[in-house]
Amino acid sequence: MVRVAILGQGYVGSIFAVGLERIKAGEIEPHGVPLQDELPYKIKDIEIVASYDVDKNKVGKPLSEIVKNYWKGKLPESLGKVPIRKGVHLRSLRNLPIEAEGLESEAPLKEVVAKLVEEWKELKVDVFVNVCTTEAFVPFKSRAELEEAIEKNHTDRLTATQVYAYAACKYAREMGGAAFVNTIPTLIANDPVYVEFAKESNLVIFGDDGATGATPLTADILAHLAQRNRFVKDIAQFNIGGNTDFLALTDKERNKSKEFTKSSVVEDILGYDAPHYIKPTGFLEPLGDKKFIAMHMEYVSFNGAVDELVITGRINDSPALAGLIVDLVRLGKMAVERKEWGTVYPVNAFYMKNPGPKEKKNLPRIIAYERMRAWAGLPAKYE
């Protein structure tokens, strides 16, 4: 059994819940789940035992009710018993058209953390999945700075993710082990303060920023060009969507947080920093969760010839991430059993856009995949 707590019951968390139960019910194939049922923990072993949110329209209602906002099809009967609990807000939904309230409005952060740890102990959570909305954040310089922010209730200094990850450390230390999967850009697996804290606390961290959409595909296409020694002149990548995450990105402060993320995948894969423009571009409501991506690349081939590639597509954003989570929670439990405290690069390198720890680079995904399989004890896919 893999007991999962969802932190942020939005689009991704809801599609994860629905797809998981539909697979368990035999209604659909596990498409989009990279490791299918190859792992020792099977998909049917995953159970959602808790869910947290700060939207006043969600808190208190059963999960089965909330997922209807994101999924219009028939619901599997097995969904439903878990109620949405009130979580940490800390402005994570600010500027969005949502009425939100977090635990921090009821008690100082130190007490909030203690309350969460108690709740989780009752729920016996194995793996936390952080699927909050993209946040405006500042990483911590030292453990002391982090502890002080909690201690002194600096609600302006912390984000929901940072508080959840802190609480997960506290919880893991008491329970002897747990895993925290961070699928959003806030630096956790890339923040040495958190990774160190996790090591001391028997916490496994996977992160940061789930590798969905155009970026991992770009990584593989750039590797394809690099292996042929084609010289990339320029790369433009646009994407536009209509879900809350794209809406959130229109908020300037959130975008600014990007400066703390690692330099681009471009240099990691090519070995030089080809001029590029790679950004979420805009919000267009009718596109919904199915974003439109467009990418243009020019490169120099043999004898100075210049080639061009254009890639466009319609990609369902939330299912892409939700499918990865089905693997990540099982790999999280495995890592806990192996006691690989801190963060696990072979897992992050395949599943994350910004694979921790901080000093590690991006790999072409096709290669990272085989290494991740080796880590998981699975045979190579391509011999």
Q: Within 54-73, which residues bind a second copy (CB under 8 A)?
A: 71
Do residues 54 and 5 lie in contact, with contact meaning Cβ atoms separated by under 8 Å? no
Residue 263 is a binding residue for a second copy (CB under 8 A): no
Residue 359 is a binding residue for a second copy (CB under 8 A): no
Count of residues of this chain found to bind a second copy when the rule CB under 8 A is applied: 81
Residue 30 is a binding residue for a second copy (CB under 8 A): yes
For the beta carbon of residue 191, count every other beta carbon within 10 angstroms.
28
Nearer to a second copy by Cβ, of 21 and 104: the residue is: 21
- Selected binder of a second copy within 153, 192, 313, 378 (CB under 8 A): 313
Q: Where are the alpha helices (DSSP H) in the chain?
A: 11-24, 63-66, 109-123, 143-151, 160-175, 192-201, 214-227, 244-249, 252-256, 265-270, 317-337, 345-351, 365-375
To which residue do tokens 């969460």 refer? Answer: 116
Do residues 24 and 76 lie in contact, with contact meaning Cβ atoms separated by under 8 Å? yes
Taking the CA atoms of residue 5, residue 343, residue 134 and residue 63 in that order, the dihedral angle to the nearest 10 degrees is -10
User: Contacts with a second copy in 167-206 (CB under 8 A)?
Assistant: none
DSSP 8-class letter at 36: T
Handedness of CA 82, 88, 92, 98 (dihedral sign): positive
Residue 337 is a binding residue for a second copy (CB under 8 A): no
- Selected binder of a second copy within 238, 255, 264, 267 (CB under 8 A): 238
The string of DSSP letters for 286-309 reads GGTTEEEEEEEEEEE-GGG-EEEE
- Selected binder of a second copy within 96, 114, 247, 311 (CB under 8 A): 311
Segment lying near a second copy (by CB under 8 A), choices 89-97, 133-141, 202-210, 217-225:
217-225
Backbone angles phi, psi at 341, to 5 degrees: -65, 155
Residue 228 is a binding residue for a second copy (CB under 8 A): yes
Segment lying near a second copy (by CB under 8 A), choices 2-10, 126-134, 184-192, 300-308:
300-308
Nearer to a second copy by Cβ, of 299 and 341: the residue is: 299
User: Contacts with a second copy in 74-113 (CB under 8 A)?
Assistant: none
CB 293, min distance to a second copy, A: 9
- Selected binder of a second copy within 1, 25, 31, 152 (CB under 8 A): 31
CB 378, min distance to a second copy, A: 12
- Selected binder of a second copy within 77, 156, 259, 308 (CB under 8 A): 308
Q: Is the peptide bond before 40 cis (omega within 30 degrees of 0)?
A: no
The string of DSSP letters for 306-369 reads EEEEEEEEEEEHHHHHHHHHHHHHHHHHHHHHTT--EE-HHHHHHHBSSPSSTTPPP--HHHHH
Taking the CA atoms of residue 18, residue 20, residue 22 and residue 23 in that order, the dihedral angle to the nearest 10 degrees is 160
Nearer to a second copy by Cβ, of 26 and 304: the residue is: 304
- Selected binder of a second copy within 283, 340, 358, 378 (CB under 8 A): 283
Residue 34 is a binding residue for a second copy (CB under 8 A): yes
- Selected binder of a second copy within 6, 33, 59, 376 (CB under 8 A): 33
Nearer to a second copy by Cβ, of 57 and 301: the residue is: 301
